[in-house]
A and B are shown apart, each in its own frame.
Chain A
């Protein structure tokens, strides 16, 4: 074709020319860049001019300049794994419980308007003494104080409002009465104590029956809460010396049950009320009014802890997973027909609590028509659905149980206990999450840690600190909730996923096929030029 340079030349002659002296290295634009050496077939080609040597060196250097000034920084920057600085030691401190010593100082105010000032003071002292003797769990202690005179407290209400109210966990009203008795008011956190006149402590004695009685009453009231908190602390990774001695087996069992029963904390829960009927009737229930009347008040009172969303459904011709008029206790777990009943997990982000009313005539072996399924919901079997009041009452009790409220005590007390227990639980959970994150960061050096994780960690620590300082109040729950949310978000950061494991031979496989063909001519060109330069120097 167009190739008209057809000098006959033997291959042997062609390979002969010295590869160093006259070869003019030229850049070929072909990829990969190849050093093209053109030489003549003559044995002694004329020496290269200084200009062309210089030119060649500059060309080689221009390529290397790009590699050194752009390529290497690029390589360094893009293959580095970004790891934001995390306060690992501090995180571990939280996890180990070093950073925060959870204490619940509960203030209990005593109103003893019928007693003399000094008598009241004395009663306070002796009672506190008795309480301290009884208490073996330092994290949870009750501190008594005298209530301000009634008129003062009213005037103070306007200015200090929440502070006082938050702090006082229980008010004791010491009243004279025909016999020694105590009564927990059911609508407010007030304990009425009645005493007989002869029980008024004399200022000389170091103890009095009334004080001991009050102390015992208090201890009984708060025993469950104390056990719960102790249990929480003991299951966390807090140092063991802080935990109280192990509770008796029956208490431990109750606590284990409580733990397994109650839902994990969430700021919002979704309640689903379902009516399942085996036949075509009943096909409707008056659920709206029932919820409005019986459920709403309870939910309103719970709103300081969690919010609730509600939906309801009716399913006809729904058959349960087990049949027969008498349900065996073992069969109850199969009662819910998971395959056919539309009880899907909620679409939103909140966990669902299911309440099921089954309109059939069945009874559990040994009596009972309702049962609670831990961390899931409650079931009531009732043939007649015209009166929903008893059902709703069962549901509301089940709801309280599922939320982890204590079983005994008046409702306000139970709620306040729930707040305290929840904030302790959240505090511990967030601390544990921080520890997990810290350990994970250390264990997996190749996982990337974006800045958002570090921010989340600092938010968590800040709010944990606040929560820890104010444990026992509503503010603590709020802070603990924020801390827990931030910690979870940091731990479950979406971008912290990827194939962590990347062995070195894989890296070779990634780099070599592409960089090899580019790199070899570049390196060879540099070496060759360097050799020629040395030769010239030695020649001079």
Chain B
């Protein structure tokens, strides 16, 4: 990637001749998995997201790089016949809610504003790192959303909606700030394809479950749970990922996944958008699924010390010697500086101490005002103030009454 970038201005032709794998390089993988609907009958949306969560975790993305947004807690819903669990299949083979689940945004935290803040990283100081999308220009991001949507919008909770324009602008802001390298956008909702129709930022592959004026359907219901447990589009995506992408070294491509979409099974026409991707359809289809669903770690094995312990030991020794010397030198210099600083202080003696003194004095007083509740020693003073205020007001009143009553009497 670096290389091709280096060359791309003068030498477009040569970059085409270069082997493609170089261009796929990214340094980290992130996943943003969002369900946007709450309430029990939307069980399947949370199950969708949790299934995908399980899959990307299985393929190696660590929890710290998965942002999971769940607006409701199905596992602890009083209507759940299997408390503490969430299943996405009627066979109930895999409990998606296992012991290792880290929900980053939950309940009423799942809002349009928080979602856009997450993407654009416009968050306050108070936001912990685990709830932020700390991506850079080397990060591939998988964004998966599911919920109830319509033409160019996706409903969040029951109160608000995100529009396709807002989403497109958010991605543009991410691209502008180099917050992603490549982005795979998947959405499972009614009229899903309209949601990515407004994107205009490069390096995005987008796919959705259904066309405009088309609904997305659930796959099947679990009669004991009592509601539908998964949506069709997500179900077939997962089926592909479970059967074809068994281990992190899988070479299955994005194209393979897209080819597996069958409108007869999904009951809606899944859409795919390649035109934002450099290289268009061909390049996009050749991306590995693991580039988005797995975690890349190009580990570098230290071979220097592998050959033999002895020869390298000398090197280390040398290094530590250098360090030691450097340190002693630094210390010496530091001492000299200190002496110098002291001399300066002595020369211009009076200036710094008052400043430091003042700051020391100021701090405690400002603190008391905010936090410390004193035992009330001056209750008498308060009463005096009260009496004074009361007397003042009534004096004004009486004086006014008197002044005005006398002329009218006369």
Do A and B come into direct contact in the complex, CB within 8 Å? yes
Enumerate chain A interface residues (CB-CB to B < 8 A).
Answer: 161, 186-188, 231, 234-235, 240, 246-247, 249, 252-253, 255-257, 259-261, 264, 294, 297-298, 300-301, 329-330, 332-334, 336, 338-340, 343-349, 351, 364, 366-376, 390, 393-394, 396-398, 410-412, 432-433, 436, 439-440, 443-444, 491-494, 496-501
Q: How far is the CB of B29 from chain A (nearest CB, A)?
A: 11
Given A332-B301, A339-B63, A436-B176, 7 extra CB contacts under 8 A: A300-B330, A369-B306, A370-B302, A371-B300, A390-B316, A440-B172, A440-B176
The answer to whether A494 touches B297, judged by C-beta atoms less than 8 angstroms apart, is no
Give the contact stretch, choosing among B236-244, B321-329, B354-362, B382-390.
B321-329
Q: Is B303 positioned at the interface, with any CB of A under 8 Å from its CB?
A: yes
Check B76 for interface membership: any CB of A closer than 8 A: no
Nearest CB in chain B: distance from A317 CB, A: 16
Cβ 8 A contact of A297, one of B6, B298, B324: B324
CB pairs A–B below 8 angstroms (27 shown): A186-B321, A186-B322, A188-B326, A231-B2, A231-B6, A234-B6, A246-B7, A253-B3, A256-B25, A297-B323, A301-B327, A301-B330, A332-B297, A332-B301, A333-B299, A339-B63, A340-B100, A345-B130, A347-B129, A366-B306, A374-B300, A411-B323, A412-B326, A436-B176, A494-B122, A494-B123, A497-B113
Query: A138 to nearest B CB, angstroms?
Result: 18
How far, in whole Å, are A246 and B77 apart by their CA atoms in the complex? 61
- Residues of the A chain whose Cβ atoms lie less than 8 Å from the Cβ of B295: 333
Closest 6 pairs (CB-CB, A-B): A338-B62, A333-B297, A367-B306, A187-B325, A501-B165, A256-B2
- Least CB distance, B16 to chain A, in whole angstroms: 15
Q: A240 near B9 (CB under 8 angstroms)?
A: yes
Known A-B contacts A294-B320, A332-B299; A260 and B138 likewise in contact (beta carbons under 8 Å):
yes
Which listed residue, B136, B307, B319, touches A411 by the CB 8 Å rule? Answer: B319
Interface residues on B, range: 35 or more
User: What distance in Å separates the Cβ of B86 from its nearest Cβ neighbour in chain A?
Assistant: 18
Which single member of B7, B64, B177 contacts A344 (CB below 8 Å)?
Answer: B64
Cβ distance B294 to chain A, nearest Cβ, rounded Å: 9
Option from A336, A349, A370 in Cβ contact (under 8 Å) with B301: A370
Across the interface, do A499 and B166 meet the contact criterion of CB distance under 8 Å? Answer: yes
Q: Please report which residues of chain B, range 118-134, place their CB below 8 angstroms from some CB of chain A when the two chains form the complex.
A: 120-125, 128-130, 134
**Chain B residue at smallest Cβ distance from A496:** B122
Is B57 an interface position by the 8 A CB rule?
yes
Complex formed: what's the CA distance from A32 to B316 in Å? 86
Given the complex, which residues of A lie within 8 Å of B302, measured CB to CB?
Answer: 368, 370-372, 394, 397-398
B112 CB within 8 Å of chain A: yes
- Please tell me if the beta carbons of A235 and B113 are within 8 angstroms of each other in the complex: no
**In the complex, which residue of chain B has the Cβ closest to the Cβ of A235?**
B5
The interface residues of chain A lying within 8 Å CB-to-CB of B297 are 332-333, 373-374, 376
Q: A345-B64, A500-B166 in contact; A368/B301 too (CB < 8 A)?
A: yes
Question: Which chain A positions have C-beta within 8 A of B313?
Answer: 390
Q: Are A187 and B329 in contact (CB under 8 A)?
A: yes
Contacts known (A333-B248, A376-B297, A497-B122); A240 close to B10, Cβ less than 8 A: yes
Could you say which residues of chain A place their CB within 8 Å of the CB of B248? 330, 333-334
Q: Which residue of chain A is the closest to B166 with respect to CB atoms? A: A501
- With a cutoff of 8 Å between Cβ atoms, the chain B residues found around residue A494 in the complex are 117, 122-124
Residues of chain B lying within 8 A (CB to CB) of residue A369: 305-306
Cα distance, A418 to B162, chains bound together (Å): 44
Q: Does B73 contact A (CB under 8 A)?
A: no
Interface flags for B137-153 (1: CB within 8 Å of A; 0: not) read 01000000000000000
Do the beta carbons of B301 and A500 come within 8 Å of each other?
no
Contact A246–B6 (Cβ < 8 Å): yes
Q: In the docked arrangement, what's the CA distance between A336 and B65, Å?
A: 14
Interface residue B213 (Cβ < 8 Å from any Cβ of A)? no
Compute how far the CA of A346 lies from the CA of B130 in the bound complex, rounded to whole angstroms: 8
Q: Which residues of B contact A444 (CB under 8 A)?
A: 169
Q: Is B163 an interface residue (CB 8 A)?
A: yes
| A492 cross-chain contacts in B, Cβ below 8 A | 120-123
With A334-B248, A444-B169, A497-B113: A344-B301 Cβ-Cβ less than 8 Å: no
Contacts of B27 in A (CB 8 A): 260, 374-375
Contacting pair A255 B163 (CB below 8 A): no
A339 to B57, Cβ gap below 8 A?
yes
Report if A259-B320 is in contact (Cβ < 8 Å); known contacts: A301-B330, A497-B113.
no
- A493 CA to B124 CA in the complex, in Å? 9
Q: Closest Cβ of chain B: how far from A281's Cβ, in Å?
A: 24
CA distance A511 to B6 in the complex (A): 53
Cα distance A298–B165 in the bound complex, in angstroms = 50
B300-A497 in contact (CB<8A): no
Q: Which residues of chain A are within 8 angstroms of B165 by Cβ–Cβ distance?
A: 500-501
- Is the C-beta of B88 less than 8 angstroms from some C-beta in chain A? no
Q: Could you mark each residue 28-52 of chain B with 1 if its beta carbon is under 8 Å from any beta carbon of chain A, else 0?
A: 1000000000000000000000000
Write the nearest CB–CB distance from B64 to chain A, whole angstroms. 5
Contact across chains for A497 and B326 when beta carbons are under 8 A apart: no
Within 8 Å CB of B262, what residues of A?
none
Could you tell me the distance in whole angstroms from the C-beta of A289 to the nearest C-beta in chain B?
A: 15
Cβ-defined contact, A252 with B163, below 8 A = no
In the bound complex, residues from chain A placing their C-beta under 8 Å from that of B10 are 240
> Given the interface contacts A344-B64, A501-B166, does A297 sit within 8 Å of B57 by beta carbon?
no
What B residues does A432 contact at CB under 8 A? 178
When distances are taken between beta carbons in the complex, the residues of chain B under 8 Å from A370 are 301-302, 305
Hey, which chain B residues are within 8 Å of A374, CB to CB? 27, 297-300
CA distance A232 to B292 in the complex (A): 27
Contacts A338-B64, A433-B177 given; does A501 touch B249 at CB 8 Å? no
Tell me whether B3 and A339 are in contact (CB under 8 A): no
Which residues of the partner chain A approach B296 to less than 8 Å between Cβ atoms? 333
CB distance from A380 to the nearest CB of B (A): 9
Report the minimum CB–CB distance from A97 to chain B (whole Å). 13
Question: Are B9 and A256 closer than 8 Å at their CB atoms?
Answer: no
CB pair B323–A256 under 8 Å, yes or no, is no
Cβ of B173 < 8 Å from any Cβ of A? yes
Closest Cβ of chain B to A56, distance in Å, is: 37
Shortest B98–chain A CB gap in Å is: 10
Interface: B318 (CB within 8 A): yes
- Docked complex Cα distance between A279 and B293 (Å): 32
Closest residue to A432 on the B side, CB-wise? B178
In the complex, the answer to whether A410 meets B322 with C-beta atoms within 8 Å is: yes
Chain B nearest CB from A47 CB (Å) reads 43
B327 touching A300, Cβ below 8 Å:
yes
Query: In the assembled complex, which residues on chain A have CB atoms less than 8 Å from the CB atom of B130?
Result: 344-345
Residues of A near B169 (CB, < 8 A) are: 444, 500-501
The CA-CA distance from A234 to B298 in the complex, in Å, is 24
Q: Does the CB pair B117–A497 fall under 8 Å? A: yes
**Chain B residues with Cβ under 8 A from A439's Cβ?**
176
Q: Which residues of the other chain, B, contact A252 by a CB distance below 8 angstroms?
A: 2-3, 6
> How far, in Å, is B19 (CB) from chain A's closest CB?
11
B61-74 vs A, Cβ < 8 Å mask (1 yes, 0 no): 01110000000000
What is the CB-to-nearest-CB distance from A145 to chain B, in angstroms, rounded to a whole number? 23
- What is the minimal beta-carbon distance from B149 to any residue of chain A, in angstroms? 15
Chain B residues with Cβ below 8 Å from A344 are 63-64, 130
Q: How far is the CA of A499 from the CA of B321 in the complex (A)?
A: 59
Contact B300 A372 (CB under 8 A): yes
A498 CB to closest chain B CB (Å) equals 7
